[in-house]
Amino acid sequence: MENKKYTSRILVLFIALAMTLSLVMPSAELSAYAAANRNTAVEASSDSGTGEAVPAETTSGAAAPAAASTEPIHEKSTAVITGYQTELNVARSKEAKITATITPASEGRLVKLQRYNHEKKKWYTKDRIYVTGTPNASVSFKIPKENRQRTSSIWRLYSPATDTSKTAVSDYITVTTRNIESYNLSAKAACVYRINADGTGTLVYSKNANTKRAQASTTKLMTAVLLMESGLLDSKTKISRHAAATPWGSGRLAAGDTYKTHDLLYAMLLPSANDAATAVAEKVGGSERAFVAMMNSKAKEMGMKKTHFCNPHGLDADGHYTTAKELAMLTAYAYTFPEIRECWTTQYKTIKSIKNKRRWTLWSTNSIFGYVSNFIGGKTGTEDNAGCCFTGVYEYNGSAYVTVVLGSGYGFSRWADTKKLHNYITEYAHTEY
């Protein structure tokens, strides 16, 4: 009996001791312990660590309740991500890498590589790394190979807030990967170029697109652009002896005769009349030589670093060259002028000189009419050194695209090359994710 009473007293003492310990344990420590466990649970559930897609809304974790504190609250510093390219353009088989610098990083930072899904309208984490440095740190991510199957995708770098600094997010980074490495083209150089909404462009297909080549009469696009910007389109132009004597001219422009300058634009861009190009150059620049200087100045202004003009019409000349990409840039710029677009879509037009009433029916050299859909227009060029050239514009799925071929074979070759590039647009280039 005594043993039972003794055991009961011990049990009561243990219960009383446990209750006392629970009362004296600091409530602040309990709160901190619970918050820490909540943070761990959130991070574990937000990303499995296998590189699978995780919605951006979950990757940053949930904010834990702040523990009671008597210490002063300090405002967090601004964090920035810098030093990265906003556009990457690589072949699908090659490595695509995004590098950047994040500041501050002295206490260490988590940085995530995220890809935007247009269908779900969410950001998904594809990779993450933890970096540290004083006062900044460099980060480098490879675009996963499985995410380089499409033509274009949107990415960003995202770094959650730390105890001392705010969240940091990069601008959008466009990664363009060319689905097709090569076409069986006769052209020595070619490209497909998407015209962006802000007037810039993106190269979405390339074959030697940055190699210098003669451009033949596609040169006349720059002559047309400078005419548009001169404000002289509605003026009249007198044909000089020099203009009328231009090699491989139309043979229709007689020295001393006068034409509406607007009609000479059509003569340049439809039958590609060299004498009309020289007449326009003299009208705008005062002389052919002065006008050529204007052409090169405009090319430099447009960022065309591998383009140089020696004349306004495109006849072969030493030092007269461009690249497929830069011709696409010029074509995209010419596309912004309604008068040039109207001229491009015209297959034939009759003009008449003002003084002698000489009539001339202009026929377009663009044989692509009727062979491809959504064709807006473009410019041909043919010369011994340049070969057969063509630059054309197409509208597809709400965007405008330029195709360029330089140095195609004779006959129907440039049009066959252009049709292949046009097929690229309809099959691949419109892809948005």
**What CATH number did the domain enclosing 313 receive?**
3.40.710.10
| For residue 104, cis peptide bond before it (omega within 30 degrees of 0) | yes
What is the reported pLDDT for 181?
Answer: 46
The phi and psi torsions of 127 (rounded to 5 degrees) equal -160, 160
153 and 246 housed in the same domain: no
Helices 220-230 + 324-334 axis angle, to 10:
30
Q: Which of 178, 205, 237 is the last residue of a domain?
A: 178
Residue 172, domain member (yes or no): yes
What is the reported pLDDT for 43?
Answer: 30
What is the reported pLDDT for 9?
Answer: 58
Number of domains in the chain: 2
Q: Which of 148, 178, 208 is the last residue of a domain?
A: 178
What is the reported pLDDT for 87?
Answer: 84
| Distance (Å, whole) CA 129 – CA 393 | 43
Q: Count the neighbouring beta carbons within 10 Å of the beta carbon of residue 407.
A: 25
What is the reported pLDDT for 96?
Answer: 85
What is the reported pLDDT for 74?
Answer: 55
158 and 203 housed in the same domain: no
Residue 75, domain member (yes or no): no
Q: Which residues are catalytic?
A: 217, 220, 272
Residue 301, domain member (yes or no): yes
What is the reported pLDDT for 203?
Answer: 87
CB 308 within 8 A of CB 319: yes
Residue 392, domain member (yes or no): yes
166 and 291 housed in the same domain: no
The phi and psi torsions of 66 (rounded to 5 degrees) equal -75, 135
CB 382 within 8 A of CB 213: no
**Parts of the chain with a pLDDT under 70:** 1-74, 91-93, 148-151, 178-182, 429-433
Residue 48, domain member (yes or no): no
346 and 255 housed in the same domain: yes
Residue 146 DSSP label: G
| Distance (Å, whole) CA 286 – CA 208 | 37
Residue 32, domain member (yes or no): no
**What CATH number did the domain enclosing 160 receive?**
2.60.40.10
402 and 261 housed in the same domain: yes
248 and 342 housed in the same domain: yes
172 and 210 housed in the same domain: no
SS3 of residue 321 by DSSP = strand
Residue 8, domain member (yes or no): no
What is the reported pLDDT for 205?
Answer: 86
Give the 3-state DSSP-derived string for 151-183, with helices as H, strands as E and coil as C: CEEEEEEEECCCCCECCEECCCEEEEEECCCCC
278 and 163 housed in the same domain: no
Element (H, E) at 410: none
What is the reported pLDDT for 21?
Answer: 43
What burial class does residue 386 get, using C-beta atoms within 10 Å of its C-beta: 0-12 exposed, 13-18 middle, 19+ buried?
Answer: buried
What burial class does residue 373 get, using C-beta atoms within 10 Å of its C-beta: 0-12 exposed, 13-18 middle, 19+ buried?
Answer: exposed
What is the reported pLDDT for 93?
Answer: 66
What is the reported pLDDT for 149?
Answer: 64
Q: What is the pLDDT of residues 1-34, one digit of tens each?
A: 444 444 455 545 545 544 444 444 444 333 333 3
| Distance (Å, whole) CA 82 – CA 102 | 6
SS3 of residue 68 by DSSP = coil
Residue 257, domain member (yes or no): yes
Q: What is the dihedral of CA 253, 217, 337, 225, to 10 degrees?
A: -80
SS3 of residue 205 by DSSP = strand
Q: What is the dihedral of CA 220, 406, 339, 225, to 10 degrees?
A: -50
SS3 of residue 123 by DSSP = strand
216 and 110 housed in the same domain: no
223 and 361 housed in the same domain: yes
323 and 255 housed in the same domain: yes
pTM: 0.63
CA distances for 368 relative to 3, 320, 337, 402, angstroms: 110, 26, 21, 14
Structure token pair of residue 34: 């619970």
167 and 216 housed in the same domain: no
Closest listed residue to residue 268, CA positions, set 160, 171, 358, 380: 380
Q: Which of 178, 207, 232 is the last residue of a domain?
A: 178
Per the structure, the complete domain to which residue 353 belongs is given by 189-429
| Distance (Å, whole) CA 296 – CA 309 | 6
What is the reported pLDDT for 20?
Answer: 46
Structure token pair of residue 272: 């590609």
